[in-house]
Structure 1
């Protein structure tokens, strides 16, 4: 399904095939759930979705940053005074509560396994070197932000990435609207972001990680595009410098095809959501 074709998400919500304790109904037809819907719906047909997702991880041979086979275990499995990331890297067990936040974390492990393993390896390495500090530090802050709230903004034309970084919402969403799905797209990564989007609201804002892609990227099926992105970003997440400044804010309900109301250009005039960039604000204050 293309980003533009996914506008049909405005139809009434689907209920889960089976209601499970701790999880509300999820509209799997919403475009932001496209990448995780198959894994999620399948798991929710089982009595124990942690076990179901562990089975999927084993079938796909998903491993942690230290090569341990991945599985999703009860939160109580995490020993007292043991760091979460270090435990995952060493044992392959991801402590998972029966809530939306951890459910989506598991789904992203299955969707972007190399990138998640890279983030886990980086976090575990930092803990091994520095221990658990009162504050994470700049690199771990950036890794955590990526893990929780990132989207991957794939674009084959640099001008679109420049528009995003420059807070040029009119260019990105109105003037260049037809380019979405052809020369740019967004793939959600952050599991906290997906949790928010179960009950979406206009101001939900992701941290976009801009990735240059070849023009033929958009000719590939969605699953192949995600695999390409996963392979591309994993090496960067292992060792490249990371900073919170590497991200660009992106109000996700402004993405064409993701929310019916954004078909009206006036949708983007809400400056409380689509905020002007620092340069624009500085220019305005100088006048």
Structure 2
């Protein structure tokens, strides 16, 4: 598997851009679906544009539903998601976290806009309190650490049960029939410097997709408050995916209960 590579960006004095994925013919599998968008924004950064300006220019070229502005444009006291929904502008701080958030907005704008609308509706109905509530919690999980997976039924059942020895052992050949997109921008940020325990929260997609637009067409109609409230995610230590990390070719890679945790025992009824 190819390494992530780095982009040398000497005009960026903060140094964060030095860690950006390089434009290689064989990008790391978690970056591969995003590669055209990453490269386009990289080029603008290399030309000297600030991150918010680079994302904004690329968004305008693509007809994105939002623009991108510096973080200081967010009014004091206004909730971030509420500001995006009302202004159609995304505040941006220079750094990897907001870089990948912008990449996801450019790559799956319909998914991000739907999630933002649901966040704003929850804020309008319930305000911003000490707790987000189940719907906003689920949206945050998906936004920060989510992934979309199409998989054959036996593979999904094993994942949902956290039956790791089955998932990555007996069923290992079935991974060739899957599609997995890491969507959470915090997860993508972590994967710039991969480590074994990085875990994504998987949202099941029912059919394979040909490109990001086709994936979006499946996901957007299923982003419903009632489904989100049920938190329909399955945890997946992403470096365990076959062919995504060389070390997992050794079956002993999975003998690590701190990462590949067993399912929680259900309380006894009585």
Q: Same fold (TM over 0.5)?
A: yes
C-alpha distance in 1 between matches for 2:156 and 2:230: 17
- Check if 1:15 corresponds to 2:6: yes
Give distance in 2, aligned partners of 1:234 and 1:21. Answer: 39
**Residues in 2 aligned to 1:244 and 1:79: alpha-carbon distance in whole angstroms:** 33
| Paired position in structure 1 for 2:41 | 43
Q: Deviations over 1:81-108 (max 9, x none)?
A: 1111111111111000001111100001
| Corresponding position: 1:187 with 2:178 | no
Deviations 1:61-88 (A, max 9, x none): 221xxxxxx1111000001111111111
The answer as to whether partners of 2:20 and 2:96 remain within 8 angstroms in 1 is: no
SS, match of residue 271 in structure 1: coil
State which of 132, 135, 143 in structure 1 corresponds to 2:131: 135
The 2-side partners of 1:123 and 1:251 are apart by: 27
1:158 aligns with 2:153: yes
| 2:85 corresponds to 1:99 | no
2: CA distance between counterparts of 1:136 and 1:102? 21
Q: Find the residue that maps to 1:142 and give its secondary structure.
A: helix
Contact 1:150 1:207 in 2 (8 A): yes
**Over aligned residues, Cα RMSD in angstroms?**
2.0
Q: Which runs of 5+ in 2 are unaligned?
A: none
| 1:114-149 deviation line (CA, Å, top 9, x unaligned) | 111110000011111212112111111111111111
Structure 1 segments, 4+ long, off by >4 Å, are: none
Aligned equivalent of 1:246: 232
TM-score, scaled relative to structure 1: 0.83
Residues in 1 aligned to 2:196 and 2:8: alpha-carbon distance in whole angstroms: 28
Which of the numbers 245, 253, 256 marks the counterpart of 1:270? 256
Residue 164 (structure 2) aligns with: 169
Alpha-carbon distance between aligned partners in 2 of 1:52 and 1:276, rounded to the nearest angstrom: 43
1: distance between equivalents of 2:130 and 2:236? 29
Aligned partner of residue 227 in structure 2, secondary structure: coil
- Aligned equivalents of 2:229 and 2:13: distance in 1? 38
In structure 2, what is the Cα distance between the partners aligned to 1:57 and 1:150?
22
**Conserved 8 A contact 1:149-1:193:** yes
Q: 1:173 to 1:227 in 2, by over 3 A?
A: farther
Superposed CA offset, 1:224-280 (max 9, x none): 2x222211111222544313641111000001111100011111111111112235x
Shift of 1:14: 2.6
Q: Return the offset for 1:198.
A: 1.2
Secondary structure at the aligned position of 1:30 is classed as: coil
> Secondary structure of 1:198's match?
coil
Mapped to 2, the partners of 1:103 and 1:269 lie a distance apart of: 34
Q: The residue matched to 1:164 in structure 2 has which SS?
A: helix
* Higher normalized contact order (CA 8 Å, seq sep 6+, divided by chain length): 1
Offset at residue 200 of structure 1 (A): 1.1
Q: Which residue in the other structure is 2:117 paired with?
A: 121
Structure-2-length-normalised TM-score: 0.88
